[in-house]
Amino acid sequence: MKIRVNPSQAVGRVTAPPSKSMAHRQLIAAALGQSPRAVENLEWSEDVLATLDCLRALGASVERTGHGAVLGGLDPFAVPEGAVLPCRESGSTLRFLLPLALLSGRTVTFTGSERLLERPLEIYEQICAGQRLFYDRQRDRLTVRGPLKPDEFSLRGDLSSQFVTGLLYALPFLDAPSRITLLTPAESASYVDMTLAVLRNYGIRIVSVGPDRFHIPAKQKYRPHPVRVEGDWSNAAFLEALNFLGGNVQVQGLDALSPQGDKVFRTLLEALRKKKPVLDVRNCPDLAPILMAMAAAAHGAIIQGTTRLQYKESDRGTVMAQELEKFGIQAVPEADHIWVEDGTLRTPTQPLDSHNDHRIAMALTVLLTLVGGELRHAEAVAKSWPGFFDVLLGLGILIERVEETAIEDGPGI
């Protein structure tokens, strides 16, 4: 889908969408309860739907109810033999559920896009090799078979916090205690804090020994706990960025006490008003695309802690640099930082491309509200926020769909 965004300012009041990161965690914990409980306030994004489909495939009772779901009854020791879990493009779904799939000793296959199966999984591969468990990774699928055993799990902390979360969900079921030790400093540690907060609500005890070591007691059970998913600070950053460009948007439904690390976005956006600030996204990498876009609209920036951007839905630092060049702005991705140069923003003379990445699509759309232009493969926003363009239209942003020729509308990147 190609859209045209005309120069316009956003004005109005809007409620932040539900947090996708919290939704994954709440849904999995609810499914592991012995009796069904409701998880309210869900956005039916592609990633959330993938998690629901996979929980159902593992044997959970799942019923959608308007803007929520009722889940429960998942026994990870009794998953169906040969279960196939369709993860689509959701890295959270795959990494969160893989350790649970290893508990039963039955064969489970995860499917997904090629890009998903290209993303780092070696931590789980090493665990399976160390415990002599079956692990077969192909271009579009990953097949595993346990049973996973209690252990001292030592893993890198700088690759993704999602591996820690996946283990924290599964290890409490085992019949002896386990430990997780991070061999390198944790990045995105706030995401582990989110996991720990959800697990506490469901009666699961994890003992944190500093930021890099976790003790997981054995033989625990998930206590059913009805919840409402909180607002998403990650996606709210795109709304607040409209204010950075001169809009007047009031964003409601955000919890100031949330463990979400991306709530730092207001501080980072304010810093961009200075000349060439230095920003660190090590603990909030999902903010990098919108910060790069706003740096292009302001005075440039140096954005640090960007190594893991290459492992996202796209190589975000590289593709944002490619798209910003169409605005006349130079950006240079290097080993662990990105330079966004100061320059004069101009209207792109060729369509931008989302590279099939939802956060790239949203960041570029926000920047286009300033100078206008076209964006191809805009449908990528459905991965986390299907209603994004409707919300912008409601705020007065001028967006229209553009018909494409067969050649223009070829396969996405």
Name the residue among 169, 97, 160 with its Cα closest to residue 286.
160
- CA angle, 251 as apex, 5 and 255 as ends, to 5°? 140
Beta bridge partners of 340: 301, 331
First to last CA, the chain: 13
Whether the Cβ atoms of residue 3 and residue 374 lie closer than 8 Å to each other: yes
Give the amino acid at 78.
Answer: A
Burial 60-85 (b: 16+ CB within 10 A, else e): bebeeeeebbbbbebebeebeeebeb
Distance between CA atoms of residues 311 and 69, nearest Å: 30
- Cβ neighbours of residue 270 closer than 8 Å, sequence gap 6 or more: none
What is the maximal distance between C-alpha atoms in the chain? 62
The catalytic residue among 47, 53, 286, 357 is: 286
Distance between CA atoms of residues 135 and 126, nearest Å: 10
Whether the Cβ atoms of residue 253 and residue 233 lie closer than 8 Å to each other: no
DSSP state of 263: G
CA dihedral 68→263→241→399, nearest 10 degrees, is: -10
53 is annotated as an active-site residue: no
Name the residue among 413, 403, 345 with its Cα closest to residue 374.
403
Whether the Cβ atoms of residue 121 and residue 144 lie closer than 8 Å to each other: no
The token pair that represents 83 in the structure block: 């279960």
Q: Residue 304 belongs to what H/E stretch? A: strand 301-304
- CA angle, 6 as apex, 321 and 371 as ends, to 5°? 45
Whether the Cβ atoms of residue 148 and residue 174 lie closer than 8 Å to each other: yes
Distance between CA atoms of residues 74 and 37, nearest Å: 12
Distance between CA atoms of residues 157 and 380, nearest Å: 29
- CA angle, 356 as apex, 343 and 39 as ends, to 5°? 115
List residues with catalytic annotation.
286
